């Protein structure tokens, strides 16, 4: 496969805001018939508490290495043409994107399955920690399964 025909496969941690439209435009391949995307946003509640904001921290080197490994696994499992995933760190307000995944495939089923696989694996394997700040003034570290 020539370099022009190879898709992009990239996982990274970012302190900057996520721009889903730019990410979607950058993830392109002439053979792609489907792009499935997932955007995880900061919600205003969790376990009955009103959430004001989140702080994300990551062990960046290990996170990016493991994230890249996940994308390569998805590439093989689902015959992907391209895949990208970015996860935010720092202070995020309600409504802001915290994570974005995009998967390109020749057909929708592979793109959908890969997108689900990537976000599930990132949540369980990548060293990223989340601290919720509540409107009433307290905060708490949240486990990945929450």
- The 3-class SS string of 22-90 reads HHHHHCCCCCCCEEEEEEEECCCEECCEEEEEEEEEECHHHHHHHHHHHHHHHHHHHCCCEEEEEEECE
Residue 41 lies in a domain: yes
Domain count, the chain: 1
Residue 119 lies in a domain: yes
Residue 3 lies in a domain: no
Residue 99 lies in a domain: yes
Residue 4 lies in a domain: no
Residue 89: give the domain boundaries. 9-142
pTM of the predicted structure, to 2 decimals: 0.92
Residue 104 lies in a domain: yes
Average per-residue pLDDT in the chain?
93
Span 78-99, pLDDT tens digits: 999 999 999 999 999 999 999 9
Looking up residue 14, the CATH number of its domain turns out to be: 3.90.1170.40
The helix-helix angle for 108-125 and 60-78 (nearest 10°) equals: 150
Average pLDDT over residues 46-51: 95
Res 2: pLDDT: 34
Average pLDDT over residues 114-125: 98
Residue 129 lies in a domain: yes
In the predicted structure, residue 127 carries a pLDDT above the cut 90: yes
Phi, psi of 85 (to 5 degrees): -150, 130
Residue 69 lies in a domain: yes
């Amino acid at each position: 496969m020539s370099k022009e025909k190879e898709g992009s496969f990239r996982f990274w941690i970012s302190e900057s805001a996520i721009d889903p439209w730019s990410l979607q435009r950058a993830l392109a391949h002439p053979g792609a018939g489907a792009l499935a995307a997932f955007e995880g946003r900061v919600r205003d509640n969790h376990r009955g508490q009103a959430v004001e904001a989140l702080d994300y921290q990551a062990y960046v080197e290990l996170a990016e290495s493991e994230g890249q490994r996940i994308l390569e696994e998805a590439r093989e499992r689902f015959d992907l043409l391209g895949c990208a995933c970015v996860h935010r760190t720092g202070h995020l307000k309600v409504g802001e994107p915290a994570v974005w995944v995009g998967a390109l495939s020749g057909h929708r089923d592979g793109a959908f399955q890969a997108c689900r696989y990537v976000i599930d694996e990132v949540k369980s394997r990548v060293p990223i920690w989340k601290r919720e700040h509540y409107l009433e003034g307290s905060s708490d570290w949240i486990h990945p399964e929450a």
